[in-house]
Chains A and B, each alone.
Chain A
Amino acid sequence: MDFLQTVKIALRALRTNKMRSFLTMLGIIIGIAAVIAMMAVGSGASYVISQQIASIGSNIILVIPGSTTSGGLRTGSGGVQTLTSDDARAIMTDCPSVAYASGTVRTSGQIVSGNMNWSSVIMGGTPEMFEIREWPVVNGRSISQEDENSASKVCLLGQTVAENLFGSADPVGSIIRIKKIPFTVIGVLERKGQSPQGQDQDDTLFVPLRTAQRNLVRSQRSGIVGAILVKAKSEEVIDKAESEIQSLLNQRHRITNSKEPDFTTRNLSEILAVAEKSAKAMSLLLGSVASISLIVGGIGIMNIMLVSVTERTREIGIRMAIGAKKNDILLQFMTEAVLLTMLGGLIGIALGTGGATIVSRLLGWPTMISIQSITVAFVFSAAVGIFFGFYPARKAAGLNPIDALRYE
């Protein structure tokens, strides 16, 4: 018997009991729709997280001062001022896996422009800092090496600072006062959004490192930086860059085995990895919940197919009497089950895709529907049909024609 004919017979059997076929399919429809929607929302969530983390900049290593012990009391990290601008320059020139390094200082203070004022974070950094954080200027120009060398009193504004001091007016060229010292605004940075910790990264003002060291922060000696931001040449060499930095600074700070290092390095890709892992765990969880509903749907199919085999015992007997082989009967019932689940799968894919789109429209939450998840869902629904259809189909094929013909 040809396959097309088998499909036709199966379709007719499904049409005969439309309501029952639909209710049977419903389990698969809900299961597949749930898988598709969950996967879409889950991968949307992990996309958001990785975007937020990438907004800090990728391949970044942070070097911060370590702790010190004085009179039995240990300070926390950053309790001492041990890192200098020279350390930053040395890291950039001597570590082969490092692309950029910039010493940074951080303070906060009142910023005044005309009759407006705003308190914000003030960061001092060398021009490399904007390369490291992948943060371009959208209006005006960035801080140049010359600004850094001459410690000129220029500044770049984050979007939030610019809005609060200037509203919609163009701030470039204006004079503002930072801690009562006049600075010229040379540019405005692109909007960066929130950091993973929820801080507004745009509520920051940037000045050249040397300017900050001389005019805005107080330190025990000159050239002290609060932290050094480092960008590795690529993601693969982050760990290598980190150990190069450690051995270089150990050497420069004369750290021996017996002495605790006076600095710590942190690697942002670790945070990224953790965040991605948790997003993956979330979609795995959602996916497994959805898979359970698929299995439940499959059991529903098996149940209905068993009822159907019993109901159609006489039909099976007639088919056998006029020449159907065991395999013909097996194939007929398998085809019915697989058609049911594949049809359910297709409807489920449509519903899941629609549901995910509605979620992303209404909640503004990005959803990502991949071709893979659709393919996997479709193949899975067919597999559910094969798996749960096999037992009832084998039961039908195994009927004795004499008994089947006598069945009323």
Chain B
Amino acid sequence: MSDVISLADIRRVFTMGDQQFEALKGVSYSVAAGEFVAIMGASGSGKSTCMNILGCLDRPTSGQYLLDGLDVGVMNSNQLADIRNRKLGFVLQGFNLLARTAAVENVELPLVYAGFNSRERRQKALMAIEQVGLAGKENNHPSQLSGGQQQRVAIARALVNSPAVILADEPTGNLDSTTTGEIMSLFTTLNRQGITIIMVTHEHDVAAYAGRQITFKDGKIISDSQTGQLV
């Protein structure tokens, strides 16, 4: 299968005053279409920095990042916004829905910025909501949904614009274990349907759902292992 993501010698240096801190010290890996990858590591290991670069929220200091064949490193902020909109779907840790806004409208949000008209938006959003098993809850506001249901809405929002990759940043960070199981099996189901997922987590049992685990330490990859998927 072709590579959706390809990182080559990615470095990221933060400058604070006259001190320099190298958060990523030459990271290279690629993710093929249809993979489910967990990125692991302690805090400060560079996994969040790597995630920001993958999500086109940050640019590497050096190295090449190809997303779906496009060189993201040379793009300006408007082009990056476009890439985030069309190629990526974000699932963030908690509170990542707009309050006082119905679930379906939250899901429609990426399509608003993509320029779809309201009928297409509604149609696609309802399909995505059905895909995550929330049919019938589309008019509920986030405050009327449980934590797990809110996270499902966020996943529907990530799916709605048919992205190349879904990026999940600690998607189960503030969920109980039962709900965590539900969300993770949703991710697994979506992955089986062919959707590429990259997930940052620090919990081993959550990472075990993924078919591949990449572990960061001190800005470098220390292990990259394929395991069988848990069901």
| A interface list, Cβ under 8 A from B | 1-2, 5, 12, 16, 314-315, 318-328, 401-402, 405
**Chain A CB within 8 A of B52 CB:** yes
**Nearest CB on B from A335, distance (A):** 14
Q: Across the interface, do A328 and B113 meet the contact criterion of CB distance under 8 Å?
A: yes
Q: Across the interface, do A402 and B57 meet the contact criterion of CB distance under 8 Å?
A: yes
11 contacts between A and B (CB under 8 A): A5-B112, A321-B57, A321-B92, A322-B84, A322-B110, A322-B113, A323-B84, A323-B86, A327-B78, A328-B113, A401-B57
Contacts of B82 in A (CB 8 A): 323, 325
Q: Across the interface, do B113 and A326 meet the contact criterion of CB distance under 8 Å?
A: no
**Chain A CB within 8 A of B157 CB:** yes
Query: A386 to B95, alpha carbons, bound, how many Å?
Result: 31
Query: A74 to B157, alpha carbons, bound, how many Å?
Result: 98
**Given known contacts A1-B112, A319-B109, A325 and B81 CB-to-CB distance under 8 angstroms:** yes
Q: Across the interface, do B57 and A323 meet the contact criterion of CB distance under 8 Å?
A: no
Contacts of A5 in B (CB 8 A): 112
Interface of A: prevailing SS: helix
Q: Across the interface, do B81 and A402 meet the contact criterion of CB distance under 8 Å?
A: no
Contacts of A16 in B (CB 8 A): 100
A320 is contacted by which of B58, B81, B100, B112 (Cβ under 8 Å)? Answer: B81
Contacts of B100 in A (CB 8 A): 12, 16
Query: A405 to B77, alpha carbons, bound, how many Å?
Result: 17
Known: A1-B112, A325-B77. 12 other contacts (CB 8 A): A2-B115, A319-B109, A319-B113, A320-B57, A321-B90, A322-B109, A322-B157, A323-B81, A323-B84, A326-B77, A327-B78, A405-B92
Q: Across the interface, do A322 and B85 meet the contact criterion of CB distance under 8 Å?
A: yes
Beta-carbon contacts under 8 Å, B100-119 to A: 100-101, 109-110, 112-115
B110 is contacted by which of A12, A314, A323 (Cβ under 8 Å)? Answer: A323
Query: A321 to B52, alpha carbons, bound, how many Å?
Result: 10
**Nearest CB on B from A21, distance (A):** 14
Contacts of A324 in B (CB 8 A): 81, 113
Contacts of A405 in B (CB 8 A): 57, 92
Contacts of A326 in B (CB 8 A): 77-78, 81
Q: Across the interface, do A318 and B101 meet the contact criterion of CB distance under 8 Å?
A: no
Contacts of B90 in A (CB 8 A): 321-322
Q: Across the interface, do B113 and A323 meet the contact criterion of CB distance under 8 Å?
A: yes
Q: Which residue of A lies closest to B118 (CB)?
A: A5
**Nearest CB on A from B167, distance (A):** 9
Contacts of B113 in A (CB 8 A): 1, 319, 322-325, 328
Q: Across the interface, do B115 and A321 meet the contact criterion of CB distance under 8 Å?
A: no
**Given known contacts A1-B112, A5-B112, A326-B77, A321 and B58 CB-to-CB distance under 8 angstroms:** no
Q: Across the interface, do B112 and A315 meet the contact criterion of CB distance under 8 Å?
A: no
Q: Across the interface, do B96 and A318 meet the contact criterion of CB distance under 8 Å?
A: yes
Q: Across the interface, do A1 and B115 meet the contact criterion of CB distance under 8 Å?
A: yes
**Chain A CB within 8 A of B8 CB:** no
Contacts of A323 in B (CB 8 A): 81-82, 84-86, 110, 113-114
Query: A402 to B82, alpha carbons, bound, how many Å?
Result: 16
Query: A328 to B96, alpha carbons, bound, how many Å?
Result: 19
Contacts of A318 in B (CB 8 A): 92, 96-98, 109
**Chain A CB within 8 A of B148 CB:** no
Q: Which residue of A lies closest to B93 (CB)?
A: A405
Beta-carbon contacts under 8 Å, B28-86 to A: 52, 55, 57-58, 77-78, 81-82, 84-86
Q: Across the interface, do B58 and A402 meet the contact criterion of CB distance under 8 Å?
A: yes
Query: A314 to B90, alpha carbons, bound, how many Å?
Result: 14
Q: Across the interface, do B78 and A325 meet the contact criterion of CB distance under 8 Å?
A: yes
Query: A220 to B54, alpha carbons, bound, how many Å?
Result: 112
Query: A322 to B160, alpha carbons, bound, how many Å?
Result: 11
Contacts of A322 in B (CB 8 A): 84-85, 90, 109-110, 113, 157
Contacts of A402 in B (CB 8 A): 52, 57-58
Contacts of A325 in B (CB 8 A): 77-78, 81-82, 113
Contacts of B52 in A (CB 8 A): 402
Contacts of A328 in B (CB 8 A): 113
**Nearest CB on A from B34, distance (A):** 23
Contacts of B77 in A (CB 8 A): 325-326
Query: A315 to B92, alpha carbons, bound, how many Å?
Result: 12
Query: A402 to B53, alpha carbons, bound, how many Å?
Result: 10
Query: A16 to B96, alpha carbons, bound, how many Å?
Result: 18
**Nearest CB on A from B26, distance (A):** 21
Query: A320 to B112, alpha carbons, bound, how many Å?
Result: 12
Contacts of A319 in B (CB 8 A): 109, 113
Q: Which residue of B lies closest to A321 (CB)?
A: B90
**Nearest CB on A from B100, distance (A):** 5
Query: A320 to B84, alpha carbons, bound, how many Å?
Result: 8
**Nearest CB on B from A328, distance (A):** 6
Q: Across the interface, do A12 and B109 meet the contact criterion of CB distance under 8 Å?
A: no
What are the 9 tightest A-B residue pairs by CB atom distance, in nearest-first order?
A: A323-B85, A323-B113, A325-B81, A322-B110, A401-B57, A321-B90, A323-B84, A325-B78, A402-B57
Q: Which residue of A lies closest to B77 (CB)?
A: A326
Interface centre among B82, B85, B113, B114 (most CB of A within 10 A): B113
**Nearest CB on B from A102, distance (A):** 78
A314 is contacted by which of B58, B95, B157 (Cβ under 8 Å)? Answer: B95
**Nearest CB on A from B32, distance (A):** 24
**Nearest CB on B from A5, distance (A):** 6
- Binary interface encoding of chain B residues 163-201 relative to chain A, with 1 for a CB under 8 A from any of its CBs, else 0: 000000000000000000000000000000000000000
Query: A328 to B57, alpha carbons, bound, how many Å?
Result: 16
Contacts of A12 in B (CB 8 A): 100-101
